[in-house]
Structure 1
Amino acid sequence: MDGHAIGLSSAVSAMEESFVLDQQAAAVLAAEAEETGRAVRNVELELRGQALVADVLLRQAETTGEATRILRTLEYRAAEHQLIMLQARVHRLLSRVAANMGDYADQLDHALRGLQLLPAHASPRIRIMHLMALAEALFRTRSTESAVRRYQEAEQVALAAGDTLFCSYVVNDMAYCLYAAGQAQRAESAMIRLLALLESEGSQPLPAMLDTLARIQLAQRHTEDAIQTAKRLVACNQSDTDYPEGPAEAALTMAAAYHQAGALTDAQTALDRARELSAGPELARVQANVLREQAELHATSGDFPAAFAAYKAYHEASEQLSSREREAQARIRHAAFETAEARRDAENFREQSLRDALTGLRNRRHVDAQLPALLTTATAAQPLAVAIVDVDHFKRINDTWSHEIGDQVLIAIAGLLGPAVPAEGVGVGGFTARLGGEEFLVVIAGLAEADVLDRLEKLRLAVECYPWQLLTGDLPVTVSIGVAGGWHPARSTDVLGDADRNLYAAKRSGRNRLCGQLTRTTVRSTTD
């Protein structure tokens, strides 16, 4: 990897380890990483750039569908290239997609798979993010105590790493989980611990943390504390692009605090401010919550007609919001379906590109891709057997009968090759392929030399004894076979070269023969 690519990889890593992104900067970096990775043939950098693009897109509801398309493709490609860390990241991001669709079971599945895939050398921040994703999914599926245990595990990782910022994220989310589950006292204890941690570091809580604290204090009926927390919240500079609803939520929390204190005029003033700050379709959920608070405030003041009107408006807003969410979820599902269909088409095309059109066997491209990997698992004690099978005097068949008959002969021989390869099992297997013209390849893994030679000899006899009269009349059809063995660190070209030399030895010895052995010492010739 060149220096520029290394620098890009480090920059991408920094963004992968952050909850908060400068979305514009992230998009620029992602595009550069993807382009550079493709240019220098660094697949991992290219795909990490694409994952960063998906992360940015996931932060906007309207682009979740496009993020889904990218992630579904990345899920396949990361597995194809065995990029375990990227696979884990993709599953964590897909858990967010599932959450956006309201499919919490799928969210849990992806979050769990992401954590299981995460390698031991992952940084503390990455591990914390995965633990938090799983905790959130457990919370969504109403497994509160399991969620809390995951949050606590993430908290311990953060404390061990001395990462106060991430520890504060973890404890805040755990406190909200407990609050939402109706356990306000435990939630308040968690927030007290969070505030003490931040104070010891001389840090201030983020606006979202203050909002969580104020809501918990309201649930505990600590009204004055809630008002003071809400005032701190409103005073905060809330320009976080990942939390655009922050200012409106702060004003709404302030209204709720004043309402609980009985300061209805102040509550209405704060609520009017929340309504003003929540203008725009992207804050529809806040708008609905403002209407609900307005209905409750009118009811407290005794204006029941106004309370009914506000509640009716809240109900209509909630229905519209649910409808929009269902439409958005449908778009995400459609994007996932389109991607799955496209991937199936791509897989079918890839499969077709690795097969010979005439015989249906694997082709030379497949051989070049798979043979090196098989050689790495072979040993001197149990070498990989590679046999080249060539049809004897094939030109005579074409010239005497026709190329169409010749093709039928090749198809029949292709069907006879299969029994030479053992059924797939632990340490055994292989494949057959057509190298081109009348040449075929049989690859056998995991068998002793005697078994390999026996299988190939049976193959030679099967071809010789096949009822060729229906195709070639009195013209016989036989094959010559050259076999060789290879193991790590032999190159596939060397092993194929040995098999090819043994094939020509078989032809020079009179054809319809098997020559070679796996120990690569002498040439053995057999005939019927």
Structure 2
Amino acid sequence: MTTEAAPATVVVADERAQLEATLVELEARPQSRYRSTAVPAATVERRAEALGLEDVAMRARLLRAHVLVREGRSERGGRWAHQVLAWAQEREDPFLLARAHRVLSIFYRQVGDLAEGLTHAVQCYSHLTDDEPLTIRARHLMTLAVALDESGSIAEGDRRFREALAIATEVGDVELSLNILNNMAYTAFENDDEAGARALVAQMREVQTRSPRTFSAMELDTIARIEMMSGRYDAVEETLHVMLDGGQSKIEANEGDTPAVCLLTLAEARRLDGRPEAAQEALDRAVLMAEERGLDRVRAQAREEQAALYAATGRFEHAYEEHRAFHRATAALHSAQREARARALQAVFEATEARRASEHFREMAHRDALTGLYNRRYVNERLPALLGEAVVRRTPMSLAILDLDHFKRINDTLSHSTGDTVLQHVAELLLEAATGPMIAARMGGEEFLLIMPGIGLEEAAERCERLRLRIRAYAWGPITGTLPVTASIGVTTSDDGRGTPSSVLSLADRNLYVAKREGRDRVVRDV
């Protein structure tokens, strides 16, 4: 007996485990290192696709989508995240549903659709299962909190922020704690709660002392904005001067545009402090960075700040023209956001329809036209993998070949149409018997196959005996008149999945031959 198929399946199972371990590590990386996940995730996706591991490939693609969205490349990131969501919805995969909804919440908030962002944020948290790591739960809570706050539910947002912070503190995730506190502080700033914002910045500073990294660009911008609330422009300068003195490369940027946003904040603080030349210097650097990196949103904001700077220095005509340019840029940005949403959704629609069509035709190729059962082609493709899985899991695999007794007599005496009706009713009885992971197939003519993963010989024989009795006792009279319909069944079991498809089918066929020889209408199993 040879076992060529099983080792190959074991190799695939081993490689799946390695790829999944890589994904677990990538998904657990701190927010500040999100860019570092792009290249290894792409490698995992390509390898998973080559091995036919679609779920692993989708999980890797979602990591790549997250990077794209964080970097501001919303259109592709949103499109990929929607594709993963559609895949996960069809398969009811809670793991990917939770994560895809989270990426899409970020995507929709980024393109200005706060309502849709909140919808996905609620879903990203509701799909979390009880066995999710606490860090993942805290991240999803934070996403929900941000979306609630931006949609006007400030108290609910604050409650979720605090729940997330409690979890991050409990697990000792300093970076996540900083990220949550930063979001809370910026929310307080936006709500003109200076006392609350300063208290949260104090917490950030205390937590940062326990962190191996310095504040990120996003955190520095939040601190600077809060200092500006009371006109402490010297403190803003002290906080953000690193963005100009060559130290920018040492600052973490959690979002693609945050260094440029920091420069805009610095420009505004210098303008308000009566230092227009220094403000223009920071603004020029922000514009240069926005143009180099294609940051349209920052470029639009820079025009607004430039208009304010012109007005502060008495150049009102220039201020008016720059203000008009700001409104044009804002309108173009909103249009681009709408187009990004539309293109992402259209691409998802097309991909979903194409996949459904492909799956439909593939399914048709694997089905018997008369009975709707799987056909021999499907068995030939699926059985090697099932045997390989049995080897890996060390579980039994049983097969049964069923053949209708004297079926030629039904065709010859009555009609082929009547014979077809009998085959269809037998197929229904097989489907009724094929519970759980069992597979029912028509191998051709009046011969059928039952594949029973994880089922040992005793149980397989008992199931086949019940099926035999069910076929014999069926109300055939209206269909075949006085002609009976019975079946002979040959059953075999591989205790640990070892054996080739041809060898196990041959053993089942041998037992079927014995059943026929000993008088038909009986089940014969391995001795």
TM superposition score normalised by structure 2: 0.73
Partner of 1:324: 336
Return the match for 2:406 from 393, 396, 400. Answer: 393
| Superposition deviation, residue 232 in structure 1 | 4.9
- Letter of the structure 2 residue corresponding to residue 245 of structure 1: D
Q: Is the 8 A contact 1:296 1:307 kept in 2?
A: yes
Q: Distance in 2 between matches of 1:304 and 1:485?
A: 91
| 1:205-224 aligned within 5 A | 205-224=215-234
Q: 1:504 to 1:485 in 2, by over 3 A?
A: closer
| 1:57-136 aligned within 5 A | 57-62=68-73, 64-65=75-76, 68-69=79-80, 72-73=83-84, 76=87, 85=95, 88-100=98-110, 102-118=112-128, 122-136=132-146
Q: Is the 8 A contact 1:100 1:329 kept in 2?
A: no
| Superposition deviation, residue 285 in structure 1 | 1.4
Q: Distance in 1 between matches of 2:303 and 2:129?
A: 47
Q: Is the 8 A contact 2:472 2:484 kept in 1?
A: no
TM superposition score normalised by structure 1: 0.73
| Superposition deviation, residue 22 in structure 1 | 7.3
Q: Distance in 2 between matches of 1:22 and 1:461?
A: 64
| 1:365-380 aligned within 5 A | none
| Superposition deviation, residue 176 in structure 1 | 1.9
Aligned length: 499
Partner of 1:411: 420
Partner of 1:55: 66
- Letter of the structure 1 residue corresponding to residue 485 of structure 2: T
Q: Deviation per CA, 1:150-198, whole angstroms, max 9, x where unpaired?
A: 3223322332333322221221122223333444432332122101222
- Letter of the structure 1 residue corresponding to residue 445 of structure 2: G
Q: Deviation per CA, 1:342-386, whole angstroms, max 9, x where unpaired?
A: 23123323432442123223335777969989xx9xxxxxxx999
Q: 1:480 to 1:69 in 2, by over 3 A?
A: same
- Letter of the structure 1 residue corresponding to residue 177 of structure 2: C
Q: Distance in 1 between matches of 2:18 and 2:106?
A: 28
| 1:36-435 aligned within 5 A | 36-37=47-48, 46-62=57-73, 64-65=75-76, 68-69=79-80, 72-73=83-84, 76=87, 85=95, 88-100=98-110, 102-118=112-128, 122-199=132-209, 201=211, 204-235=214-245, 237-239=247-249, 243-280=255-292, 282-301=294-313, 303-363=315-375, 390-395=403-408, 400=412, 406=416, 408-417=417-426, 420=429, 433-435=441-443
Partner of 1:526: none
CA RMSD in angstroms, aligned pairs only: 5.1
Q: Distance in 2 between matches of 1:33 and 1:442?
A: 36
Return the match for 2:447 from 425, 429, 439. Answer: 439
Q: Distance in 2 between matches of 1:184 and 1:104?
A: 25
Tell me which of the two structures has the higher relative contact order, counting C-alpha pairs closer than 8 angstroms and 6 or more residues apart: 2
| Superposition deviation, residue 333 in structure 1 | 1.1
Q: 1:339 to 1:497 in 2, by over 3 A?
A: same
Structure 1, gaps ≥5 residues long: 377-383, 523-528
Q: 1:486 to 1:113 in 2, by over 3 A?
A: farther
Q: Is the 8 A contact 1:463 1:478 kept in 2?
A: no
Structure 2, gaps ≥5 residues long: 1-10, 391-396, 453-458
Q: Is the 8 A contact 2:106 2:117 kept in 1?
A: yes
SS at match of 2:448: strand
| Superposition deviation, residue 332 in structure 1 | 0.9
Q: Is the 8 A contact 1:211 1:233 kept in 2?
A: no
Q: Is the 8 A contact 1:65 1:335 kept in 2?
A: no
Partner of 1:15: 26
SS at match of 1:279: helix
Q: Is the 8 A contact 2:308 2:319 kept in 1?
A: yes
SS at match of 2:373: coil
Q: Distance in 2 between matches of 1:109 and 1:488?
A: 49
The farther-off stretch of 273-282 and 133-142 is 273-282
Q: Is the 8 A contact 1:392 1:479 kept in 2?
A: yes
Q: Is the 8 A contact 1:97 1:107 kept in 2?
A: yes
| Superposition deviation, residue 336 in structure 1 | 1.3
| Superposition deviation, residue 256 in structure 1 | 1.6
Q: Deviation per CA, 1:482-507, whole angstroms, max 9, x where unpaired?
A: 49899999999999999978866764
| Superposition deviation, residue 322 in structure 1 | 0.9
SS at match of 2:295: helix
Q: 1:360 to 1:122 in 2, by over 3 A?
A: closer
| Superposition deviation, residue 478 in structure 1 | 3.2
